[in-house]
Amino acid sequence: MPLAVYPGCSLTGSSREYMESVEQILKTFEIPYTFVEDWNCCGATAAHNLNRKVAEALPARIIALAEKQGADEILVPCAACYNRLKSSQKKMDEDKVLKGQLSEMVGMPLDNGIKILNVLEVIEQSIVPKLNEKIQAPLNFKAACYYGCLLVRPGNVLNFDREEDPQSMDRIVEILGATPVKWSFKTECCGAGFTVSRTDIVSRLSGDILIDAVEHGAQALIVACPMCHANLDMRRKDIEKATGRKFDIPVIYLTQAIGMALGIDHQKLGLNRHFVPVSI
């Protein structure tokens, strides 16, 4: 069965370069995929703060749609969407009554057996085994792999990598030729959704992340979350104002980094769309 891909709102808007690079590498490695048709918002931060039923129904509908398409795996590149989908899946697993109610709400049968994968899992599973032979331009820089909060936590829901000191991205980056640095802020909060309402908090938190990365010798930050990317890249001016320091360290999606190592044109990977120029 082909892999279903759920883009979510960010990957069609502010982070379209993430989607572009995901598609580039899926194509390069000849992994068949289809987008979830008629997809809806995952609920993001807002839904589960306001209405718990709706918060579960939104991801449930996405799961039901993907299952209707016959997919048994769904790739969710956005860390927040991934977190929401996994969380709803677990809730439905544990509560059959809820599952029935949600199935009724979304008006579709719900098997809930689909495997929800983040970008790292798909890469480790389907790309890493063939990665070495395809590398054209090994990356030659020190990289700080930044996982953020939603990709690995809470551990008992996601069951993916170790919560406090994840390693999967570091392993992949090493294959690409880059040197992953040991640093302390791998899973610290970037400020997330406060990017709109409290830029001051985001500037301070994201600033701390940049400082730690730079002080540990990193020349690039590698990320797998559109929210983290937005805060570290788009908010760079605010960060510089808040910290009183200049940073030229670029923020690159892992999929872009893979594309770079594969020798794919930077334009195709959307690297030109960043606020902080990628010149390494």
Positions touching another protein (CB under 8 A) are 162-165, 182, 184-185, 188, 212, 215
Q: Rounded to the nearest whole angstrom, what is the least distance from the CB of residue 60 to another protein in the complex?
A: 27
Measured from the CB atom, the residue of 66 and 209 that comes closer to another protein is: 209
Specify whether the CB–CB gap between 85 and 58 falls below 8 A: no
Q: Rounded to the nearest whole angstrom, what is the least distance from the CB of residue 162 to another protein in the complex?
A: 6
Burial class (CB in 10 A: 0-12, 13-18, 19+), 164: exposed
Residue 138: count of CB within 10 angstroms of its CB? 11
Measured from the CB atom, the residue of 146 and 185 that comes closer to another protein is: 185
Q: Rounded to the nearest whole angstrom, what is the least distance from the CB of residue 196 to another protein in the complex?
A: 22
CB contact burial 174-196 (16+ within 10 A = b; e otherwise): ebbbbebbebebbbbbbbbebbe
Measured from the CB atom, the residue of 96 and 182 that comes closer to another protein is: 182
Q: Rounded to the nearest whole angstrom, what is the least distance from the CB of residue 218 to another protein in the complex?
A: 14
> How far is Cα 25 from Cα 134, in angstroms, rounded to an integer?
11
> How far is Cα 18 from Cα 16, in angstroms, rounded to an integer?
5
Measured from the CB atom, the residue of 212 and 233 that comes closer to another protein is: 212
Instruction: Give Cβ neighbours of residue 143 (< 8 Å, ≥ 6 apart).
Output: 173, 178, 179, 180, 181, 218, 219, 220, 221, 222, 257
Q: Rounded to the nearest whole angstrom, what is the least distance from the CB of residue 245 to another protein in the complex?
A: 15
Q: Rounded to the nearest whole angstrom, what is the least distance from the CB of residue 215 to another protein in the complex?
A: 7
Measured from the CB atom, the residue of 174 and 188 that comes closer to another protein is: 188
Measured from the CB atom, the residue of 22 and 190 that comes closer to another protein is: 190
> How far is Cα 280 from Cα 262, in angstroms, rounded to an integer?
15
